[in-house]
Structure 1
Amino acid sequence: MKIFGREPVIVLNTLSALLGLIVSLGITSLSAETAGAIVAAVSAILGAIAAAMTRPVAPQAFTAVVAAGAVLIGTLGYNVDQSTVGAINTAVLAALTLLTRVQVTPSSPSAPTGPAGV
């Protein structure tokens, strides 16, 4: 299965990072706590969906837990502003997606496993 011609995990993590970017730019008029809670919840939900779509589950689940946890710690633990919440989410997701990508494969046997079917 592909979404927009890409692997679903990449698309889901990108959507989560884009949400973090929207929050960091202050496009929404939410409080920092509300924005952080929304970003963390969406990161966790999209991460759980992505983990269900890959094998082994552990690297993607780790990415989702760390991304959501980092946002919650930043928001609730240190009372940072909305732009920092988005920046934390985007940075953590980007770094962990790049690091864990080589460790996971699509769960569907018919899904492509690499560039040009390699």
Structure 2
Amino acid sequence: MKILGREPVVVLNTLSAVLGLIVSLGVTSLTAEQAGATVAVVSAILGGIAAALTRPVAPQAFTAIVAAGATAVAAFGYEVSQGTVGAVNTLVLAVLTLLTRVQVSPAPPSAPTGPQSV
């Protein structure tokens, strides 16, 4: 399965990084905590979807957990700006996507489970 002609992991991590960029530019009216929570949740959801669409699941799941965790720590563990929260998310996603890319591939389509007619 491909999304926009690309592998799902690349597209979904790029979408999450774009969200981080939007937050870092401050084009939203969110506080740093709200932005951090939003970016962490969206990163986790998109990472979960990407993990479901790739094999093996572990590298993409690791990427999603680390990206969401780093964003949450930046937002709630330290007094940092909205821009820093977005930058942390974007950097972590970019580095981990590049590092784990060679370890994952799109999941093969599942075999039909019902009776087949010829």
- Report the TM-score when normalising by structure 1: 0.91
Partner of residue 86, structure 1: 86
Partner of residue 18, structure 1: 18
1:109 and 1:103 map into 2 onto residues whose CA distance is 19
Partner of residue 3, structure 1: 3
2:5 and 2:55 map into 1 onto residues whose CA distance is 20
Residue-by-residue CA offset, 1:39-66 (whole Å, 9 max, x unaligned): 0000000000000111111000000000
Number of equivalences:
110
Amino acid at match of 1:103: Q
Aligned-residue identity in percent: 76
2:78 and 2:70 map into 1 onto residues whose CA distance is 11
Partner of residue 71, structure 1: 71
**Pairs within 5 Å for 1:1-118:** 1-108=1-108
- SS of residue paired to 1:100: helix
Amino acid at match of 1:106: P
- SS of residue paired to 2:9: helix
Greater C-alpha radius of gyration = 2
**C-alpha displacement of 1:22:** 0.1
Amino acid at match of 1:40: A
Residue-by-residue CA offset, 1:97-118 (whole Å, 9 max, x unaligned): 00000001111259xxxxxxxx
1:79 and 1:47 map into 2 onto residues whose CA distance is 26
Backbone CA RMSD of aligned residues:
1.1
